[in-house]
Structure formats: structure tokens, C-alpha cells
A = this chain, B = another copy of it.
Amino acid sequence: MRGLRLTRPRRLILEAVRDTDVHPTAAFVYRRVRRRLPRVSLATVYRNLRVLAAEGVLAERADAGGLRFDGNAEPHDHFTCIGCGRIHDVPVRRGRAVRARLAAQTGFEVLNHRTEYFGRCGDCRRQGGRPSPKGQRRS
């Protein structure tokens, strides 16, 4: 957070992302911020989400459905439920070893890696049946 002013719109945008665990889209954040700051502009939301991500205060991630933001800026992986579409945080696996192995095999300098899991969450398993693509709200 080195030298970045915390204006009201900016602060509310940051709070909106941190106050949810849905890994929201810009549109979702926009809707939330508008409750408290009705005149905020969608461009302001996009602009500040990018600024905050560049500062490392937020994380930015792209999935099949577009841009999303993550209030948890610590390294972690994600599990996406194909039933309800929710994205859960999961602990990152043994990082070093995995990267070192790939580097040895390929000659690449491996600086980072990220794993995405897919399947059905506890709720969706309990509700039984085959993976019904219900939910899938885009948030």
C-alpha cells in the first residue's frame, strides 16, 4: 500500500471485495459499492480494482467466465464446483518441490504456479444426482 490515496470510492471498492468470498466480478463489486455510494461509476470500479491489484492488495484472476478479483492476496489455490459454480480457496500444495522438478526437466525458470481444481462441493454432493449445472451465477 505504498503511496496510494484511500479515497472513499477506493476504500469502498476494497471493502466490497474483502467482505465477500465469492471471488467477485467487477459488475458484482459495482452493485455492492453502489449501495453505499450510488453515484459511483463502473469505470471507477474497474480502474480501482486494477490499481488495488497492482498494489498487491487484491489478487486478480481470469477464469473461463472472465475477470475476477480476490480479497485474499496470499498465495492459495482454488476449487471450482461444477454444480453451483462457487469458487473455494484451498491451501497451496508443496510449492518449491513442484517448481524445482519442472525446472530440472525442462530448463525453464519456474517462478510461479497455480492449480485449479474442479468437482462438486459438499453441498452439491449432498443434494445428490448428477452434476446439475444449476446455480452458476456469475456474481
Which residues of A come within 8 Å of B, CB atoms? 62-65, 79, 81-82, 88, 90-91, 93, 98-99, 102-103, 105-122, 125
| Chain B residue, CB-CB nearest to A126 | B107
- In the complex, the answer to whether A112 meets B117 with C-beta atoms within 8 Å is yes
Contacts A64-B62, A98-B93, A115-B115 given; indicate if A106 touches B120 (C-beta within 8 A): no
How far is it, in angstroms, between the C-alpha of A119 and the C-alpha of B113 when the chains are bound? 9
Pick the contact of A79: B79, B82, B106, B115 (CB < 8 A): B106
- In the complex, the answer to whether A79 meets B93 with C-beta atoms within 8 Å is no
- In the complex, the answer to whether A79 meets B114 with C-beta atoms within 8 Å is no
- In the complex, the answer to whether A119 meets B114 with C-beta atoms within 8 Å is no
- In the complex, the answer to whether A111 meets B118 with C-beta atoms within 8 Å is yes
Contacts of A82 in B (CB 8 A): 111
- In the complex, the answer to whether B125 meets A119 with C-beta atoms within 8 Å is no
Contacts of A79 in B (CB 8 A): 102, 106, 108, 110
How far is it, in angstroms, between the C-alpha of A110 and the C-alpha of B65 when the chains are bound? 20
Q: A79-B110, A82-B111, A111-B119 are in contact. List 14 more A-B contacts (CB 8 A).
A: A62-B63, A62-B64, A79-B108, A88-B108, A90-B102, A90-B106, A93-B98, A103-B119, A107-B125, A108-B117, A108-B119, A108-B120, A109-B125, A113-B118
